[in-house]
Amino acid sequence: MPSADLAAAPAAPYTAPMIGGRQVLSELRLIFGRRRNLAMLVLLAAIPVFIGTAVKVSTPRPGEGPPFISELTNNGLFLAFTALAVCLPVFLPLAIAVVAGDAVAGEAGAGTLRYLLSIPVSRTRLLVVKSLGVLIFAAVGVLVVAVFGMVAGALLFGVDGFTLLSGDAVSVGNGLARSAGVAAYAFVDLVGLAAIGLFFSTLTEVPVGAMAGTVVSAITFAVLDSVPQLGRFREILLTHNWLHFDELLRLNFDVGSLLRWSLLSLGYAVVFFLAAWARITTADVSG
């Protein structure tokens, strides 16, 4: 082909590659390589062990302690539910806030965000990879609480059968399946908060600010949810249904209610992910 034709040939447009396992694995190495994140997972693992040990040495009276704690001595699997009930309002949101708040703000503060985008890397792809990393960490956090709760409960109290909150006895296999459902429900609860954290992370170059904003959001939802005068307005608050996984611990649970409660969190996730996407795709990171 003549050189003139080569000069006149238009350059092929750059097409950003699809999200691959290498990018996600790199993000996971970054997240799980941080000592503070590992320390939070260790703390989450220690909570069910601590609760189980405390109950073992001093059985609480009915009405004392968090939900499900009075069932522990009869069924060790309830330690997982008790630990989730303790961790969902405080410890799991704190862990999600730290990881999500650092996702984009940490890169911006360290000056690596501009480098990542100059490779070139699609901003949308970057946000999706960061989102996947946060969600995987959230899933691991929930699994750590649930698994350590079940193992510690089995060792301390045994798992001879499984009696539901409704008083019906089911097999251990049925109980484990319900436990998996509880863990899945708890994870979905945190998806909306993870999206809020990512949104805050796109607003600042200071990770601590994004973390604080996420934690304050969770606290604000919880405080508003505790005000009965707000009436039905509380039903649209993110944290309103977080502890309603006890529905799965009844013989005939309401699937429609569980889906409706889960959709609330997913709705928050969609809104705040789109807000984070709008922010990161328009923000000036060239300076």
Residue-wise pLDDT for 79-98, tens only, equals: 999 999 999 999 999 999 99
Do 74 and 163 meet the contact criterion of CB atoms below 8 Å apart?
A: yes
Do 232 and 136 meet the contact criterion of CB atoms below 8 Å apart?
A: no
Lowest-pLDDT range of 2-11, 42-51, 63-72, 257-266: 2-11
Residue 15: per-residue pLDDT: 40
Q: What number is the average pLDDT over the span 56-82?
A: 71
Task: Inform me whether the pLDDT recorded for 273 exceeds 60.
Answer: yes
Q: How many CB atoms lie within 10 A of CB 278?
A: 12
**How far is residue 123's CA from residue 6's CA, in Å, rounded to a whole number?**
32
Task: Inform me whether the pLDDT recorded for 110 exceeds 80.
Answer: no
pLDDT band with cut points at 50, 70 and 90 for residue 61 = low
Residue 168: per-residue pLDDT: 79
110 CA to centre of own chain: 25
Residue with the two structure tokens 């510690």:
152
The percentage of residues in the chain with a pLDDT greater than 70, rounded to a whole number, is 82
12/227: higher pLDDT = 227
Task: Inform me whether the pLDDT recorded for 7 exceeds 80.
Answer: no
Task: Inform me whether the pLDDT recorded for 145 exceeds 70.
Answer: yes
The percentage of residues in the chain with a pLDDT greater than 90, rounded to a whole number, is 53
Residue 11: per-residue pLDDT: 38
220 CA to centre of own chain: 18
* HEC-encoded secondary structure of 61-116: CCCCCCCCHHHCCCCCCHHHHHHHHHHCCCHHHHHHHHHHHHHHHHHHHHCHHHHH
Mind listing the pLDDT tens digit for each residue in 212-271?
999 999 999 999 999 999 988 999 999 999 999 988 988 888 889 999 999 999 999 999
Task: Inform me whether the pLDDT recorded for 63 exceeds 70.
Answer: no
149 SS3 class: helix
Do 249 and 82 meet the contact criterion of CB atoms below 8 Å apart?
A: no
Residue 10: per-residue pLDDT: 42
Task: Inform me whether the pLDDT recorded for 8 exceeds 80.
Answer: no
pLDDT band with cut points at 50, 70 and 90 for residue 107 = confident
Task: Inform me whether the pLDDT recorded for 135 exceeds 60.
Answer: yes
Q: What number is the average pLDDT over the span 14-36?
A: 76
Residue 182: per-residue pLDDT: 94
Residue 105: per-residue pLDDT: 87
The most distant pair of C-alpha atoms in the chain lies apart, rounded to whole Å, by 91
How does the average pLDDT of the chain come out, rounded? 84
Q: Is the dihedral of CA 258, 263, 266, 272 positive or negative?
A: negative
Q: What number is the average pLDDT over the span 191-219?
A: 94
Q: What number is the average pLDDT over the span 21-41?
A: 91
Residue 251: per-residue pLDDT: 85
Task: Inform me whether the pLDDT recorded for 74 exceeds 80.
Answer: no
Task: Inform me whether the pLDDT recorded for 4 exceeds 60.
Answer: no
pLDDT band with cut points at 50, 70 and 90 for residue 19 = low
